Structure 1
Amino acid sequence: MLRYVVVSVFGGLLLGFLDGLINANPYAQKLFEVYKPIAKSSVNIILGFGIDILYGFVLAGLFLLLYKSLPGQTMLLKGLSFGLIVSFLSVVMHVFSQLVMFKVPANALVYMFLTGLVEMLLIGLFFGLTLKK
């Protein structure tokens, strides 16, 4: 149980760090200018990290719940499998919803997809290498 709590917290912190890296860099800021009219002028970093830590607990719990059914014989492959599943359920669906609802440039959608995929694969690898069933 202690391992789950520690890994969940660090997984959430990793999510927060990656979100900042992905969304706050100058390239992303330029791509996401389309959202400027509806974006907040400042971000509540503490709330953001709190939400990411909550996600860390949820994702770590899902990883443990799905562990036996995940493809792969090694923790590494199970982590990658989990990352791909989560990518489909979150990243791909988010990108498609943005495509349907907003006039977002294609390069911004590709950026969202690629960075989201990498982020979820890294999270999956982290859980695969640190959470032992």
Structure 2
Amino acid sequence: MTSYLIDNTDYRILQLLIDDSTLSHKDIGAMVHLTGQAVGARVRRMRELGIIEGYTIRWNPLRIGQNIHAFITVFLSSNKDHLPFQAFAKAHESVTELYRISGEGCYWMRVRTVDQEALTAFLDELLNYGNYRINLDMGQIK
């Protein structure tokens, strides 16, 4: 992977977009002392270089009934289970993030469900691929 150097102004633009991706180029320009057009050109360049990969939103899952937030380390039963497990996790709507990890376990995933029953049903399906260790969210700090 190639890394790219950006200058302080690019970095400030990037930080502003990370904090609030809805800011207009004109508004960002006022904060970094550039025109909106100059900010747009810098943002396009950072997108072309792959520094900016896309835009997202922050949301509150509790407001839509996703009350259970679990962090699960998965221990697969066999090497043959990797591809079927990955397909299961990618297709399951409760899995919001999935990482292949080193150290203890094979995968780490973030799961959100509406209630304990839905989490239990998910975990029952997960047992088809191996075992797991689960940690429940007790409150976000940062």
- Higher helix residue share: 1
TM-score scaled by length of structure 2 = 0.21
Higher CA-based Rg: 2
Greater relative CO, 1 or 2 (CA 8 Å, sep 6+): 1
